[in-house]
Structure 1
């Protein structure tokens, strides 16, 4: 019974429960400390769900990566929350800050912020698989060898910055209120947990619309080109438009499918991962021909 509750109730609890609580608290002027507590609650619930209903049992066992992943998560989440604090200043000096639709209901403003951020972050994410210098930074995220909640914030801080600029700058220019930005920060944290969760949950046909773990596992297939799919953070709408959506209901995933085939010995220590993009060996590996792409897709088929 508990497993069934998690299988069908985990996603609604996170998307509606945690995010809904953030909307309510921010709309009623609660301290940002309550929002931080919601993120901590979401992380705790993610860890609990992963242990009760894991997609792969072995992904709950560390590969000498727990400390590194925690460091990435703390640094990057702290950066996100700190960025929210400077939004009032940025919004005040933005020349078009009066564009923000403040007359709309608060929850609609949050929904608008999510849609705008989703487009920007998805586009930057896609570019990160195509542009050499961006891939150098983004490769840190693709070096994972197990798929679980904290992976979502396992990013090079510079790539996190680039993604945030792409997703949030348009909102800042429009004059997004700090309360809306605070809820957006919670929504991003919740989404990253859901997207990488080692939880065997079910969302039915919504898996082709929402950017959740069933679809995002395809993005982490280790073969060059094969994983260039499902870039969305919140939704897969832009992937459908970019023609980068992919899903095979028969596909299963193991540890052997993850990582980067071209970089099997990518550094695993936190500080070494910060330095790796700036070394000669941190270069990008592109797929050069359609034939090579086809052969890699064949190789990745179970």
Structure 2
């Protein structure tokens, strides 16, 4: 009975929690609360459930986060994922958009603003993921980009908090690919908020240390089963599954990878001396010989 319960939990957790958070976002908006409240409450609910499930149903016991890991990853989460993104959003929204408008350039007409919000959000996920797919893939091919991206691949275990472990320069590049185009296109706040709820919850799931089985969803979203292979220390395994939210572009371009007969073993970089601390990793990409895949 206990094993049966675990199977049920591992199968339904992703679709049920994702669906609940998206529905909660819709309901809070329908009650005329602010867009910020409707966005951050569902994300907080999803994050709380995922955190508790990591403790209750860990995929690997040895992947449970230690205090030192958490402090480093929280630094990335708040300083890079939150503060830096806020600064970039403000800067580009104020300076670039005003510059374009004052010059008579406008790109609003290129976006289907009259479509339903959910349809626009789907289009945004598809197009943003296409751009991020190629940035991610090139980050594994071009040494200059790989030195930055190696920071994200440095952890030896996966849990939800280290989803935000990106060097600030790489995060800036990601912003240019998955956020700035949609700001320039004038995508509405409601669409951006809905996208963010999906983006955040899926990202937490992607790195989570929970025993999950996504089944057919492994052909749609980039979930934990797929992403663990992307963090393998084996180059032939890690150069797969580049999808950010979706795995569709990996299927299209032949980089989808989910073997049925083996499990991923070691994670991280071949260079096991690669620094893991937040401050150390800020300068590591500029040191030679530290970026071995």
TM interval, shorter chain, is 0.7 to 0.9
1:14 aligns to 2:14 (yes or no) = no
Counterpart of 1:65 (choices 63, 69, 75) is: 69
1:31, distance to aligned residue in structure 2 (A): 3.6
1:281 and 2:289 correspond: yes
Q: Comparing 188-197 with 62-71, which one deviates more in the overlay?
A: 62-71
Cα separation, 2, equivalents of 1:21 and 1:159:
32
Kindly state the Cα deviation for residue 5 of structure 1 after the two structures are TM-superposed: 5.1
Cα deviation, residue 125, structure 1: 0.7
Distance 2:181 2:69 in 1: 35
Q: Hey, what's the Cα distance between the residues in 1 that align with 2:93 and 2:23? A: 23
Distance in 2 between the 1:117 and 1:229 partners?
18
Query: Aligned partners of 2:58, 2:175: CA distance in 1, in Å?
Result: 30
Aligned residues: 282
RMSD: 2.4
Task: Summarize the Cα distance change of 1:229–1:121 in structure 2 as closer, same or farther, 3 Å threshold.
Answer: same
Asked if the contact 1:121–1:164 (Cα under 8 Å) also holds between the matched residues in 2, the reply is no
In structure 2, the partner of 1:228 is 239
Query: Quick one: distance in 2 between partners of 1:146 and 1:169?
Result: 31
Which whole-Å deviations, capped at 9, do the CAs of 1:77-121 have from their partners, x for residues lacking one? 313455556676566746212222121111111111111111111
Q: Which secondary structure state, in structure 1, belongs to the residue aligned with residue 18 of structure 2?
A: helix
Structure 1 position 210 matched with structure 2 position 221: yes
1:147 aligns with 2:158: yes
Aligned counterparts of 1:34 and 1:246: Cα–Cα separation in 2 = 35
Tell me, in whole angstroms, the C-alpha distance in 2 between the residues paired with 1:142 and 1:81: 24
TM-score by length of 1: 0.84
1:134 deviation in Å?
Answer: 0.8
SS at match of 2:238: coil
**Residue of 170, 191, 197 corresponding to 1:186:** 197
Please, which runs of 5 or more residues in structure 1 have no aligned partner? 286-302
Among 78, 82, 101, the residue aligned to 2:112 = 101
Counterpart of 2:277 (choices 269, 279, 284) is 269
Which is further off, 120-129 or 165-174? 165-174
What is the match of residue 184 of structure 2? Answer: 173
Question: Which position in structure 2 is the counterpart of 1:288?
Answer: none
Provide closer, same or farther for how the CA distance between residues 279 and 125 of structure 1 changes in structure 2, counting only shifts above 3 A. same
Identify which of 124, 138, 151 aligns with 1:113: 124
Deviations 1:117-153 (A, max 9, x none): 1111111111110111111110001001111111211
Q: Does 1:198 align with 2:201?
A: no
Matches within 5 A, 1:20-169: 20-25=23-28, 30-62=34-66, 64-78=68-82, 79-80=84-85, 83=88, 89=94, 93=101, 95-169=106-180
Q: Given the two structures, how large is their TM-score scaled by the length of structure 2?
A: 0.87
**How far apart, in 2, do the equivalents of 1:272 and 1:192 lie?**
25
What residue is the counterpart of 1:290 in the other structure?
Answer: none
Shift in Å at residue 193 of structure 1?
0.6
Instruction: Say whether the 8 Å CA contact 1:208–1:215 is kept in structure 2.
Output: no
